[in-house]
Amino acid sequence: MTFSRTYIFGPAIVAILAVVATPCLADNEITVNGGGIIKEGVGTNLNKITFSVNVYADDDIPEGTGHFQARFHRLPLYPELEMSRFFSREITEFTVRPCTVGPCIFIKISAEGRLDGEEGWGVVIRLTDFGTPPNEKGLPLDYGDAIRIQLFDPGDNHVYDTAWEGEFSREQSWRHLLDGGNVSVHVD
């Protein structure tokens, strides 16, 4: 079985990544969907964010269309953002490419939307998709889907970042591994 996985599935993954890496979508349809939770700390020092994403792109819509939302449940260092909700249906940038290290896909999405109903806010989301969550305990610790969320106010000031000191661990470059959930990239 190991032989067939290595020599059959390996080339299939490389072929999919080659298609995803193409700068021009060339009749491809790409969908990124999923959601999850990230947590760090305990008790009064607990940081907690949940999110969902569903973005689609093809030749006619290369910048993508869909939605992204995030709920900032607990952020002790940024109490003004606690229990706030960002929501967007205006995707302004969508990039999908293979990761430089490991069998994964890197996703970058920029969007404009509302924070608790106030227009003009923006986000930059960076995700990695390692496929279906693995059950193998022998894999490297950073082998899993991850996210980084940057939040910008209506004046385009960078007001929050999950990678800032004291927020979430940088377990995968500047991204934090999902504590629950999954992100999937589909190429048709």
pLDDT of residue 103: 79
One DSSP character per residue, 70-114 reads EEEEE-TT-GGGTTEEEEEEEEEEEEEEE-SSSS-EEEEEEEEEE
- Averaged pLDDT for residues 108-130: 96
What is the pTM assigned to this prediction?
0.81
Q: Parse the chain into domains and list their residue ranges.
A: 2-187
pLDDT at 27: 56
CB 46 within 8 A of CB 39: yes
What's the pLDDT score for residue 100?
Answer: 79
Task: Please give the Cα distance from 129 to 88 (Å, whole number).
Answer: 21
The tens digit of pLDDT for each residue in 150-184 reads 999 999 999 999 999 989 999 888 999 999 999 99
Residue-level pLDDT at 28? 78
Q: How far is Cα of residue 125 from the mean position of the Cα atoms in its chain?
A: 6
**Mean pLDDT of the region 76-105:** 92
